Structure 1
């Protein structure tokens, strides 16, 4: 069901955004200010995994729903913004009925 795909897309978008923020706002400053590279060594791969999972989930959902390429590209571009996951989450929640109608 498309509603399940949308729910998983929202979760992956939030996970990607949270890991990016933790990497940029916690791990990198600790590495440079305190000489503690362990945070980047852990958060870097976690964020990479979350980023790949978000991209995969976006492609699966867009293919399943038959979304236009422009919508898919806009949602993919959001992954490169530190708060992009929250933007995707809000967009999918607000546009859920429209997105469900788009796939029908």
Structure 2
């Protein structure tokens, strides 16, 4: 999976997607229901790091594989939706 730009992008996308779900599904309930704001601070910081890595990997795979503008926009939008990265990964797996 790590041998190509697309493989690295898929891996980072999965990690970023998991961090997003942890932020939304675990850290935010801990903050708002159990008054534990440190969870959002930690999970949010990690998610921010993974999101930046995702954007860098998206730029790299775009240049390497000459992706169209619409495909890049679709990959970006997928990163904003819960479970979007997992749907994108399933489609990219067929391409790889």
Normalised by the length of structure 2, the TM-score is 0.93
Hey, which of these two has a bigger chunk of helix by percent? 1
Q: Secondary structure at the match of 2:82?
A: coil
How far is 1:76 from its partner?
Answer: 1.0
How many residue pairs get aligned? The number is: 94
Check if 1:85 corresponds to 2:69.
no
How far is 1:81 from its partner?
Answer: 0.6
Q: Looking at CA atoms only, which structure, 1 or 2, has the larger radius of gyration?
A: 1
Map 1:1-104 to 2 at 5 A.
Answer: 4-96=4-96
Distance 1:68 1:41 in 2: 36
In structure 1, list runs of 5 or more residues that go unmatched: 97-104
CA offsets, 1:6-31, max 9 Å, x none? 11011111011100000000000011
In structure 2, list runs of 5 or more residues that go unmatched: none
Please list every run of at least 4 consecutive aligned residues from structure 1 whose deviation after the TM superposition is greater than 4 angstroms.
none
RMSD value, Cα: 1.0
Distance 2:74 2:80 in 1: 11
